Amino acid sequence: MATWQVSVLTIFPEMFPGPLGLSLAGKALEKGIWSLEVLDIRDFARDKHRSVDDTPFGGGAGMVMRPDVIDQALAAVETRPGPVVYLSPRGRLLDQALVRELAAQAGLKLLCGRYEGVDQRALEARNVSEVSVGDYVLSGGETAAQVLLDAVLRLRPGVMGNQESLAEESFERGLLEYPLYTRPADWNGRAVPEALLSGHHEKIRLWRQRQAEEITRQRRPDLWARYRGGKSED
């Protein structure tokens, strides 16, 4: 199996692999199922202070990452496989469908912003797409890149031992997951639901299906409406 290549552009290279060096992603990294190349954007600065930012045209608070510096950093990974994704609150919202799309790419190049973000011209010149991890503002794209990679890597072949458990997870079938139970069967007077102890596969499947539907209906009317074919509930 060919190694799935990930390149990350950041001014904080020491933040990687971070949590991705542990657990499933970490083991897969060690085994060469995926590889991680981290580039320090400061290495592409042109002055002795290694500046990557400047004040915004038009005024306003904060600093903007310079197009010439970002462009040079992106040029350095030009031949690597896969699209360039800039982590940005303005981007397409990351959901399981987008995670699947990204996992199907030949590799990924992730640009982590800092300050107020990146000069628009560099994004346009290099055909960069934007992905957001949620409707809130982080201080930098590094943690967003880690969230994205964590979700995407789980879908890459060979990363998760049990591929079956992926199909059952929240969002995969358009529903949230049913409640989970393990031993002991009776804990502090709280019993495990009868159906799960029955050993009857069809009964268990039906119980889980009903629970997943009920939880989705209660907690996520948006997902529930989509699951029901876009019809609103009657």
Cβ neighbour number for residue 233 with a 10 Å cutoff: 8
Does 67 interact with ligand SAM (rule: CB under 6 A)? no
Contact pattern from residue 74 through residue 113 relative to ligand SAM, giving x for each residue in contact according to CB under 6 A and a dash for the rest? -------------xxxx---------------------xx
Binding piece for ligand SAM, criterion CB under 6 A, among 28-36, 70-78, 129-137, 168-176: 129-137
Our CB check for ligand SAM shows the closer of 118 and 153 to be 118
- Burial 46-84, CB ≥16 within 10 A → b, else e: eeeeeebbeeeeeeeeeebbbbebbbbbbebbeeeebeb
- Which pair of tokens denotes residue 31? 């085994």
User: Which bin fits 154, alpha (ψ -120 to 50), beta or left (φ > 0)?
Assistant: alpha
Does 114 interact with ligand SAM (rule: CB under 6 A)? yes
φ and ψ at 107, to 5 degrees? 175, -175
Our CB check for ligand SAM shows the closer of 88 and 216 to be 88
Report the C-alpha gap between 99 and 123 in whole angstroms. 21
Our CB check for ligand SAM shows the closer of 144 and 175 to be 144
Does 7 interact with ligand SAM (rule: CB under 6 A)? no
Among 144, 149, 151, 212, binds ligand SAM (CB under 6 A): 144
Binding piece for ligand SAM, criterion CB under 6 A, among 6-14, 71-79, 139-147, 202-210: 139-147
Our CB check for ligand SAM shows the closer of 107 and 141 to be 141
Among 85, 117, 126, 212, binds ligand SAM (CB under 6 A): 117
Q: Concatenate the DSSP letters of all residues of 98-153 into one string.
A: HHHHHHTSSEEEEEEP-TT-B-HHHHHHTT-EEEESSSS--S-HHHHHHHHHHHHH
Interface with ligand SAM (CB under 6 A), residue total 19
How many Cα neighbours within 13 Å face the side chain of 214? 8
Among 139, 162, 182, 232, binds ligand SAM (CB under 6 A): 139
Report the C-alpha gap between 131 and 99 in whole angstroms. 10
Q: Which spans of this chain sit near ligand SAM (rule: CB under 6 A)?
A: 87-90, 112-114, 116-117, 132-134, 136-141, 144
